[in-house]
Amino acid sequence: MKDWYLLTLVTLLLFGVQRFLYKVSAERKCNTAWTSFAFMGTVSLISAVFFYAGDHTIADWRYLFVISLINSAAFLSGTVTTMEALKRVSASIAYPLIRLSTAFVVVFSILYFGDRPSPLQVAGIFLALAVILLLAGLSSAPGTPDGGSRKGFLLICIACLSGAVAAISSKFAALHVNLLGFMALSYCMSMVFSFALRNRLQTERENANHRDALIIGFVMGIVNFAGFYALLRALSTGPLSIIVSVTGMYFVIAIILSVLIYRERLSGPRIAAIVLTVLSIILMRS
């Protein structure tokens, strides 16, 4: 198995756990800004420690700043809107819709980076997109809880667009800047942005005690640091179209955990989607 593909599978698992923690934050009615603040701050601190401990250097600070700013704004936007959307719709509806961003990233990767997947990998990509569309189609089914929430749908659309920008900017960062320096700066910016949103996102629905938000954010940060570093390492040598297609199915892990922990309903189509996800991963390994 190629190193970049193994790193991609590690990213898939860790990002799935991280997204489940978004669900935990939403279920506990945590202030999203405080959760994000602890999350981003944890990743930034760990990245900075490893950066200075390893005596790394930055060749182009200007490029690092610009790509970090773009990635930070996109990732924070996706994080906040995802957690807010999960307060209005179930994980099994929100995540597949958000991951429709995978299609945009794949097209961009093929056109800009010139990715040329093998026939089996192309089949795997289409299968991955089919999984996303299959689950996304369930959101319009009659009787789906919170499926008609206009605000929830708007938040999902923003999260989808943000996810595409974050993935593409991560590829550029992986190719051109120091990975730990990029993570430290990008997440530091997101931490500052999150802190600025803390009062705006505190409503009557959110818990006024921020202890849970900070704890969940801290755990989320540890998981994300490992997952995002693995992603950047994979992107530095592997094709964006394949990597984003595999990691884009993290929501399947989040859905499984949501079913096990929060007793969310797992219907026949969702079971089929999980099976197709496994098949898709096998095909894209080629």
Distances (CA, A) of 60 to 90, 211, 214, 229: 43, 39, 34, 20
Render each residue's pLDDT in the chain as its tens digit; 286 residues. 689 999 999 999 999 999 899 889 988 999 999 999 999 999 999 999 999 998 888 989 999 999 999 999 999 999 999 888 888 887 767 777 787 788 888 889 989 989 888 888 888 888 877 776 776 665 544 444 444 467 888 898 899 899 999 999 999 999 999 999 999 999 999 999 999 999 988 888 888 889 999 999 999 999 999 999 999 999 999 999 889 888 888 878 888 888 888 877 767 776 777 777 778 777 776 5
* Best CA proximity match to 85, nearest among 167, 137, 154, 38: 154
Element (H, E) at 117: none
Q: Say what the pLDDT of residue 141 is.
A: 47
Q: Which two tokens stand for residue 66?
A: 């610009």
Q: Which two tokens stand for residue 190?
A: 């997101």
pLDDT digits (tens, 9 = 90+) for 229-270: 999 999 999 999 889 888 888 878 888 888 888 877 767 776
Which own/partner pairs from 48-51 qualify as long-range (CB within 8 Å, at least 24 positions apart)? 48/180, 48/184, 48/188, 50/180, 51/178, 51/180, 51/181, 51/184
Q: Which two tokens stand for residue 139?
A: 């959101």
242 in Cβ contact with 7 (< 8 Å): no
